[in-house]
Amino acid sequence: MKRAPGWLARSLPWLLLLSLALFPLLAPSLDLDYYVGFIRHLLIVMMAATSLNFILGYGGMVALGHSGFVGVGAYTVVALVDGGVTSAWGAWLAAVAVAGAFAAVIGAVSLRTRGVYFLMITLAFSQMLHHLAVSLSAYGGDDGYSLHAPLLLGVGLDDAHPHVLYWVVLALAALLFTFSCRLAVSRFGYALRGIRDNETRMAALGYPIYRIKLAAFIGAGAVAGLAGALLASHNKFVSPSVMHWTESATLLVMVVIGGLGRRWGGPAGVALWLTLAEVLKLYTEYWRWPMGLLLVLIVFLAPKGVVSLFEGPRRAG
């Protein structure tokens, strides 16, 4: 596919951001109120997918337990709300810190393995977290926990207002996406890409492989925790299903169909997956059949991800 002209490629993200920012204001007149919540959900999942793409696409760490960190973030919010915390920023920051701490412990063990063993050990840890959540009867156990009281955002605003939460999520997603793009072309990002290609070579170039991978893993876990915290505010409900291994697998598939190691890979995969599911559900309750066929088609037409269809001939960005 032909590459877009430079000015268009440069202004497209800004146009997209502007359109998304204006959407809640225009939605009522277009009778699209429902889609404000849908896009908010999309943006939150995009944050989790972007963090997974960073370790999977750039770092080559095939983790099958990323939803575990999403769940840790969500349950941190639950625990704090249950304990009487009312500040949204405080709860979300705590979710980032706790998910980061879990990622540090899990990563410190898991990153001593490679390939399929790494995949299996991250899966095992996320299932442990899932079962831990199921056993937390104080927070509803298997039934989950409803967040009744809104979390306060300051200046008289709270996360119960759908538009306010939408804009907060949009701002955080935009910031995170910009940061991850910058990080990908920083020395840290280059080192991570080098490690994916050839660990031995990177060690010979003077890079401490384990520490770099662990730092990336902790960062990605912390961001997934933020996505989990926002998901808790978005749904006003958290259940252990958020960290089931199938959620990790879905996230992984989204990143793969979007484009592994491509800056737009995570957001594109999430947008495609969730939109397809949403549209197909309108027509049939057996939506997974056509969804599966479409995904097979995508894999054949764009094995490097849908984003690769819009790239120039030389290389991924």
Partner 1 sequence: MNSAPLLSCRGLEAGYGASQVLFGLDFDIQAGEVVTLLGRNGMGKSRVLKTLIGRLPPRRGEIQFGGHAIHRARADAIARLGMAIVPEGRQCFPNLTVHEHLIAFADNRGGLGKPWTSRRLYALFPSLAARAAHSGNQLSGGEQQMLAIARALSTNPRLLILDEATEGLAPVIREEIWRCLDRLKAAGQTVLVVDKYVERLVKLADRHFILERGRLVWSGTSAELDSDRGLWSRYLGV
Minimum CB separation from partner 1 for residue 209, in Å?
7
- Interaction of residue 183 with partner 1, rule CB under 8 A: no
Site for partner 1 in 66-105 (CB under 8 A): none
Site for partner 1 in 261-280 (CB under 8 A): 261
Contacts of 65 (CB under 8 A, 6+ apart): 106, 122, 123, 124, 125, 126, 127, 129, 245, 248
Window of 69-77, 185-193, 226-234, 283-291 that interacts with partner 1 by CB under 8 A: 185-193
Smallest Cα–Cα separation from 212: which of 65, 54, 99? 54
Distance, in Å, from the CA atom of 15 to the CA atom of 12, rounded to the nearest integer, reads 5
Distance, in Å, from the CA atom of 49 to the CA atom of 186, rounded to the nearest integer, reads 20
Return the residue of 205, 293, 299, 309 that touches partner 1, per CB under 8 A. 205
Distance, in Å, from the CA atom of 251 to the CA atom of 256, rounded to the nearest integer, reads 9
At 177, phi and psi to the nearest 5?
-65, -45
- Interaction of residue 187 with partner 1, rule CB under 8 A: yes
Query: Buried (b) or exposed (e) across 220-258, using 16+ Cβ within 10 A?
Result: bbbbbbbbbbbbbbbbebbbbebbbbebbebbbebbbbb
Minimum CB separation from partner 1 for residue 6, in Å?
14
Q: Are 20 and 39 in contact (CB under 8 A)?
A: yes
- Interaction of residue 259 with partner 1, rule CB under 8 A: no
Minimum CB separation from partner 1 for residue 261, in Å?
7
- Interaction of residue 208 with partner 1, rule CB under 8 A: yes
Return the residue of 1, 137, 206, 300 that touches partner 1, per CB under 8 A. 206
- Interaction of residue 215 with partner 1, rule CB under 8 A: no
Question: Coil, helix or strand for 238?
Answer: strand
Window of 17-25, 66-74, 190-198, 270-278 that interacts with partner 1 by CB under 8 A: 190-198
- Interaction of residue 194 with partner 1, rule CB under 8 A: yes
- Interaction of residue 203 with partner 1, rule CB under 8 A: yes
Query: For binding to partner 1 (CB under 8 A), which residues are involved?
Result: 185, 187, 190-191, 193-194, 196-198, 200-209, 261, 314-316
